[in-house]
Structure 1
Amino acid sequence: MGGEGVKHIVLAKFKDDVSEEKINEFIKNYSDLVNLIEPLKAFQWGTELSASNMDQGFSHVFESSFESVQGLNEFVSDSHHIAFGKSYASIFDKLVIFDYNPTIISYPN
């Protein structure tokens, strides 16, 4: 049971009038949280690229990694994270936030 720490996934659907510059600013400031909040161990992001047309308008995914649920809880309640969230709340049409403990499956060679 269990896996490698805890993952915090954010799926973002930005409002239509949000500029690419504002999105890039959001991404830079999100990634900067790694330097400000100790429990945040890694951050990565990407854009939707599937041809399946099942993204429901969500264009970006953000993944943060933590060693434990306690670390995730410290991140969520950290003043830097709270201020960051408040400063960008108005740029989203919708967000999906999903936290989980990955289960690693090993396959024989």
Structure 2
Amino acid sequence: MGEVKHLLLAKFKDGTSQEQIDNLIKGYANLVNHVETMKSFRWGTDVSIENLHQGFTHVFESTFESTEGIATYISHPAHVEFANGFLAQLDKVLVVDYKPTAVDP
């Protein structure tokens, strides 16, 4: 099993206001209160100086205890309702799930 990270990279559509983005982020963060398998949520905007972001501006990271937890999250009614509105505001999206691995020095 083991912890699983769910990363979503996003570029909002042109014309999406900062207020709309802020409200969408609050809605995303609130999923932690509705989906039991979602253990944490963090987000941020691209600050890289390498210019390799390919247009993605926002990163959203959720933590789950297992891949089964992600499956529960994806089908959860609160997530489905949120995702329908959220995805409609995105120009680009990329989702990656991974199990973090520590490297021994």
Matched with 1:6 is 4
Matched with 2:39 is 41
Structure 1 alignment gaps of length 5 or more: none
Work out the number of aligned pairs and report it. Answer: 105
C-alpha distance in structure 1 between counterparts of 2:4 and 2:58, whole Å:
20
User: Please, what TM-score do these two structures have when normalized by structure 2?
Assistant: 0.95
Please list, as runs of the form range in 1=range in 2, the aligned pairs for 1:30-109 lying within 5 A after superposition: 30-107=28-105
How far apart are 1:31 and its partner, in Å? 0.3
C-alpha distance in structure 1 between counterparts of 2:10 and 2:35, whole Å:
22
C-alpha distance in structure 1 between counterparts of 2:10 and 2:37, whole Å:
23
User: Please, what TM-score do these two structures have when normalized by structure 1?
Assistant: 0.92
Letter aligned with residue 44 of structure 2: G
C-alpha distance in structure 2 between counterparts of 1:97 and 1:11, whole Å:
6
- Higher mean C-alpha deviation, range 52-61 or range 39-48: 52-61
Matched with 1:24 is 22
How far apart are 1:28 and its partner, in Å? 0.3
Letter aligned with residue 61 of structure 2: E
- Higher mean C-alpha deviation, range 87-96 or range 41-50: 87-96
Letter aligned with residue 9 of structure 1: L
C-alpha distance in structure 2 between counterparts of 1:49 and 1:100, whole Å:
22
